[in-house]
Structure 1
Amino acid sequence: MMKYFFAICITIVMITNTVFAQEKAITHKVEKGETIVQIAIKYNVTPFDIYQLNPDVQNGLKPNSVLLIPSKSSSKITSLPVKASVQAITHLVTPKETLYGIEKQYGVSDDELKKANPFLENEGLQIGQTLVIPAKNKIINTAVVHEKLIYHDVLPKETKYSISRKYGITIAELEKRNPEILTGLPIGYRLIIKGTTPKTAKVLEQLEANREDVIQKPLKVAVVYTSYEVQPKETLYSLSKTFGMSQEDFIALNPELKNGVEIGMILKVPYKDAALQENRKEYTALSKKISLGSRKKMVLLLPFNIPRVEGDTINSTGNRLKKDKFLNMTLDFYAGALIAIDSAKVLGLPVDVEIYDSEETKNSSNVASIIRNNNLTTANVIIGPFYQSNAETAAQLLSERNVPVISPLSKDVGNPFNNLYQTIPTNEVIKNAMFDYMRAHNGNIMAVVDRKKESIVQYIKEYQKNVPFVAFKENGSVSAESLKSMLVKDRMNYVVMETGNTWMIKTTIAAMVSSMSEYKVQLVILEPNETLDTDEIKFSNLIKLKLMYPSVTRDNNSSEAVIFDKEFRKVNNIYPSDYATRGFDVTFDTMMRLVQDKTLEETVNSAATKQVENKFEYYKKPDGGYTNKGVFIMYYDSDLTLKEAN
């Protein structure tokens, strides 16, 4: 989308004369506690006007500092009539395309295409380029009155919500003025906050009107088109299914298909890599919205299996604790949950907690009788059981009263129950998050995948169709020539490597390192890879390539994490394990959602959260229930530490 926006900007030619009408500014001495909004209201101006004359205050107001307050009339600029050539479409170059094929597809001559894209003369055609496709010029005479432009450069950790709130506008207004940020919010990008020039006005008009090349859908999903070469054995049915279109729509987009599908045909198809991702939830601190109303009831169903431990005549309790990993996991989770419950007491949260032994194995549990005998239909939320099948049993028994059941540890997709909440992202969600991140950062993506990794190959072919695979040599090593031919200048080139083969890893890394003088490259893995931890792979190269991967958890050194570690160690005389931290995170997050001024389901639909090591970003699944899409993107930084990518 960003490329499309800039490509249209290139085609717009304007000559404007402007007249500034500005009165003398006045000054204001900042008092302690004053805000920009308060000052703007006092002088009947907007925060934008103050930021324009005092750009330094975007970092915060300082008491006793002096601000320049503009006259309200100074924000208007009048423009004379302009002429603009705005009718243009764009094309994103993909592998195997040629100038001849593109020119034939759009019915333009070689001279016309190169005139519209002068860089082709020197650079030639390269994968990833966005070409402006010339069309018949349509001259439009316009007379525009537009406002003075206010800009904002995006800082690390800023969001659309925080920026729009800072300037007193809506997210929709921000996106309308900056349509290229629909896919993400790049750090350092200059946003237009207020005002329009003839150029931006015409771009917005074009984006709104040009339905052929950017189609706005209800969820702000844009379809950008590219070309595709028909492969052997492909049919109209298979092509329309691959690209998610009806056969009628596919023919309307490619009229030549009326005469049948032929190998080698160049078709216009949706470029799915450029499709916008769904709007993600804003991460918020629920502690700011605690409602101390009626008391809530939270129930934990944890598999202590006490009768089995007490009935073990062979092993003592101590020996069982040494051998039984499942029991240790349960006790760790429970210990973390107790710290969360104690924290809730300190905060004065109106939550009553009941804990039961679910006595569960993978195929059995005591869940049904616990729910029946303890009237758990009156609970506001249930955490547990651990096994997916038992969590589904609880959800089914409590579905009539819509009591939320939080599945704390299962990775299974599970059967659809509207009241079942999966807290661990599925493997598919984790991989999707990695690709979403790379695309949001305008990355050029390629894959090096071992043939033995059939599940990864199938995943990329099914869900990431436009990601090309790097070729191998006969000896099984990576073809450096193939990898380098896919690299694109001035963009980050993400190489997704999935293999346990040491030689394949070495040749991939070598090809990437040798390309670093000319290209920006970063190594990416989708799943844990033990081979990377061996002495044969130089850790210095992984640092150099800033190895990046998706993770359900993160290493957290914040003050909150330090407090949790200290409190846990004080109570248990050891540092918390991953299961203990998860017990705290799931329990505390659930309790905080219970004490909002809305139902738990409503908080899930409106807010995402970060706890000590885990994210909770729930989305309703099409077939029922909720899945967590809270995934961290981690990378090795040059200082040898793991960091969370922005």
Structure 2
Amino acid sequence: MKNRILFSIVLTVFSFVFTVAAKQEKYTKHTVSKGETINIIAQKYKVTPYDIYSLNPDSQNGIQLNSVLLIPATNSVVVLNSSQNDSQSKNPNTHLVQPKETLYSISKQYGVTIDAIKAANGDLLNNGLKIGQNIKIPSGNGQAVAAPKPAEPAKVAAPVVTKPVVKPTAKIETPKVETPKGETTYHIIEPKETKYGISKKYGMTIPELERLNPQIVSEFPIGFKLVVSGNAVNQTAVETTKPAADVVKPTVETAAPTASSTKKYLEEYVVKPKETIASIANDYGMSEQELISLNPELKRGIKLGMILRVPKGQRKEPVKKEQGNLLKTINTNARKQLALLLPFNISKIESDTVNSTQARLKKDKFLNLTLDFYSGALMAIDSAKVLGMNVDIKILDSQETKNSSNVAALVQQNNLQTMDAIVGPFYQSNVEKLAELIEPTKTPVISPLSKEVGKKYANLYQSMPSAEFLRSAIFDFIKAKNGNIIAVVDTKKGSVKQYIQEMQPNVRIAGLSEKGAFVADSLKVLFQKDKLNYVVLASESTGMILATTNAMLAAQKEYQVQLVILEQNDTFDFEEISLTRLTKLKLLYPSLSRPNETNEANQFDAKYKKLNKILPNQYAIRGFDVTFDTLLRLSQDKTFEETVQSSPSEQIENKFDYAQNTTYGYSNNGIYILYYDTDLTIKEAL
């Protein structure tokens, strides 16, 4: 983000334009007529369906009458092999990839292995299988073979749960995995399921799921039998068997619940004002994806008054929170104890015979961060004294790196389990270790700086909102505005594209050129005149940012447009991207902190500068905010946990609005949605 100081000075705008040299490609616009399909349109313009899908990703979900498609010029299409054009009619050795097909299904259709198909197609499949691609189909000896006619599907009766049915033995490559001890649980991949959804269902991470099932690293075929661990919330399509010894035991086929049997476990819920998919899912202890799977209509967005299907009796009663009442209810009678575990790493400094302390301070960024946080914490402690809070403070050196710490020894030597609360350590693995050691006493452990999401403990409080929550919050905000949402996603941001496709299916993604460059027309054809067009830009490329914002500025004559980013992006600080450009597009983004120009904030700045001869940076302010929020919560008639359940707080720049996780512990959901205004200030969006 732009430095706060930039907004307090008058900016002189120079007429300097940063030009990115790129070959301009011409595109034809085609309006879809009645009865036309992608294949028909591709044949008309002598391009492949893949070329059309590349520029119009939204068309993979179907095309509508009168919708506009971008068609690449014939001379800009790269021919992957000499027989590519009209390959389905002239070359039976290739296969035109259809929607919902996978390498797994194609390999079964032609009786070849996935590896053989990949080897036959060279670099074509490096980025995965794409709809509309023409791929070579090899034979067993490496030569291409004609595609067999698909067999007519046999009529299979619905499974009946009576007695075990022995499956016939078939030559199927089973995953070579480490067999879990005790019972092994399997899951059959259903249509529209994802790795993310299945891993959440069984309390696993995606890497754990891939370790048990190496075959799904590059493919995720429907019908594949996964080895999973843990107990699923909903055991649909799950088989549980004892590990086999030397003989193959019969497998029990279990019928999936029918609609009538599922109804017993569901109830209806009417959407209330200001509710979002995320908030309702959280209230029912489920993921957004699970809620959408019960209510597919949510893919088009959530609306006031919608009737949703939700798990019966699972709703957590929301606790009414009152903003800003902690200062009014301070109890100075009960004495409390707070420990701060900060990574000063004093022993390393003392044993450093090469560098003086002053020299170390100049180059040790982590030490400087620690001292900044500490200076803010000291101001919070001083403020607590002024207000008469009755708290004993213990400051300890956690002696930590990312992979080690002094936590275990500190717990033993200082009886940390008797504390009323502990702030720190800094690294996620170390704060989790501390929470684990003192979990029996339920002593709150506040993680001050880590955004990571790891192991959950009942006494662990993540004070930094996660990146996943920030993404979800900004999408919830713009969806509530009923705007038209379009995403421009750099090819290097594969995880962002996957997140949008899986979790924000109503968002349309603009197509890129064959080389991954931004195409202005692919954005403009998605604009709507009767709505505010939000353009979500995910890229760290200066060229792509300039090209996208240039197209948006040019479109302002005809359309309402606003630029959106999902997280802090340092590229926007480069001088090539002027502040004026961002204010004209009212850059909108989620933030952990806010600019604060109130009298209280100015007084804090002045006092800090008087003590430290410098204005506070973000870590100093964070140190104050986390420590003072903790001190306030300890100085109440309620327990620390009761205060986070009932009372959010807002300090100098940070908000603390904790929500209980669906498993254990709490996460801070206190964030701000900010935008750059035309008067060169940052404001909170309403």
Q: What's the TM-score once normalised by structure 2's chain length?
A: 0.55
1:590 aligns to what?
630
* Secondary structure of 1:385 counterpart: coil
2:669 equivalent to 1:629: yes
Q: Indicate conservation of the 8 Å contact 1:619/1:627, yes or no.
A: yes
How many Å apart are 1:515 and its aligned residue? 2.5
The answer (yes or no) to whether the contact 1:615–1:630 under 8 Å persists in 2 is yes
Give aligned-pair identity as a percent.
51
Whole-angstrom distance in 2 between the partners of 1:98 and 1:619 = 50
Segment of structure 1 superposing worse, 471-480 or 442-451: 471-480
- The amino acid of 1:488's aligned partner reads Q
Q: For 1:637 and 1:362, locate their aligned partners in 2 and report how far apart those are by CA, in whole Å.
A: 39
* CA deviation after TM superposition for structure 1 residue 281, in Å: 5.4
Aligned to 1:17: none
Aligned to 1:368: 408
1:618 to 658, 662, 668: 658
Q: Secondary structure at the match of 2:441?
A: coil
Q: After TM superposition, list the pairs within 5 Å mapping 1:521-600 onto structure 2.
A: 521-600=561-640
Unaligned runs of 5+ in 2: 1-30, 37-64, 69-265, 278-287, 307-315
State whether structure 2 residue 335 is matched by structure 1 residue 295: yes
Aligned residues: CA RMSD: 3.3
Distance apart, 1:275 and its partner CA: 6.1
Q: Alpha-carbon deviations, 1:435-490, whole Å to 9, x = none?
A: 12112222221101111111211121122121110122446543433323322334
- Count of aligned positions: 409
**2:346 maps to which residue?**
306
Residues 431 and 241 of structure 1, relative CA distance in 2, 3 Å threshold: closer
CA distance in 2, matches of 1:599, 1:558: 31
Amino acid at match of 1:333: F
Of residues 441, 446, 449 in structure 2, which corresponds to 1:406? 446
How many Å apart are 1:406 and its aligned residue?
Answer: 0.4
String of CA shifts for 1:9-59, please: whole Å, max 9, x gaps. Answer: xxxxxxxxxxxxxxxxxxxxxxxxxxxxxxxxxxxxxxxxxxxxxxxxxxx
Q: For 1:542 and 1:416, locate their aligned partners in 2 and report how far apart those are by CA, in whole Å.
A: 39
- What's the CA shift for 1:496? 0.2
Q: Please name the residue that 2:678 is paired with.
A: 638
- Which residue does 1:274 correspond to in 2? 302
Aligned to 1:433: 473
In 1: Cα distance, 2:380 partner to 2:631 partner = 9
SS of the residue aligned with 1:274? coil
Shift of 1:390: 1.2
Alpha-carbon deviation of 1:306?
Answer: 1.5
Segments of structure 1 that go 5 or more residues without pairing to the other structure are: 1-95, 102-123, 128-211, 224-239, 251-267
Paired with 1:99 and 1:380, the residues of 2 have a C-alpha distance of: 70
| SS at structure 2 position matched to 1:448 | strand
Q: 1:99 to 1:428 in 2, by over 3 A?
A: farther
Give the equivalent residue in structure 2 for 1:486.
526
Partner amino acid for 1:510?
N
Q: What displacement does 1:540 show?
A: 2.3
Q: 1:504 to 1:358 in 2, by over 3 A?
A: closer
Kept in 1, the 8 Å contact 2:447–2:462? The answer is yes
2:130 alignment counterpart: none
**Equivalent position SS for 1:471:** coil
Structure 1 contact 546–635 (Cα < 8 Å) conserved: yes
Q: Residue 359 of structure 1 aligns to a residue in which SS?
A: coil
The aligned counterpart of 1:340 is 380
Give the secondary structure class of the aligned counterpart of 2:501: helix
Deviations 1:492-528 (A, max 9, x none): 2210011233443233223322332332210011133
Partners of 2:446 and 2:488 lie apart in 1 by 37
Partners of 1:369 and 1:350 lie apart in 2 by: 27
The equivalent position to 2:391 in structure 1, one of 341, 351, 374, is 351
SS in 2 for 1:557: coil
Deviation at 1:555, TM superposition (A): 2.0
- Residue 244 of structure 1 deviates from its aligned partner by 4.2
Query: Aligned match of 1:458 in 492, 495, 498?
Result: 498
AA paired with 1:612?
I
State how far apart, in whole Å, the 2-side matches of 1:338 and 1:434 are.
34
Partner of 1:316: 356
AA at the equivalent of 2:547: T
The answer as to whether partners of 2:292 and 2:299 remain within 8 angstroms in 1 is no
- Residues 1:216 and 2:244 aligned together: no
Change over 3 Å in CA distance of 1:423–1:498 after alignment to 2:
same
Deviation string, structure 1 residues 169-189 (Cα, Å, up to 9, x no partner): xxxxxxxxxxxxxxxxxxxxx
When residues 516 and 360 of structure 1 are mapped into structure 2, their CA distance, relative to the original with a 3 A threshold, is same
Whether the 8 Å contact between 1:477 and 1:507 is mirrored in structure 2 is no
Higher mean alpha-carbon deviation, 579-588 vs 326-335, is at 326-335
Q: For residues 66 and 323 of structure 2, what CA distance do their matches in structure 1 show?
A: 42
Cα distance 1:475–1:387, how it changes in 2: closer, same or farther (>3 A)? closer
Contact 2:491 2:516 in 1 (8 A): no
1:423 aligned onto 2:451 = no
Matched, 1:327 2:367: yes
In structure 2, C-alpha distance between the alignment counterparts of 1:371 and 1:515, rounded to whole Å: 61
Task: Give the drift of 1:381.
Answer: 0.3
CA separation in 1, counterparts of 2:661 and 2:566?
A: 23
TM-score with structure 1 length normalisation? 0.58
The Cα offsets for residues 564-620 of structure 1, whole Å up to 9 and x where unpaired, read as 111111211211121111110000011111112211111111222211111112111
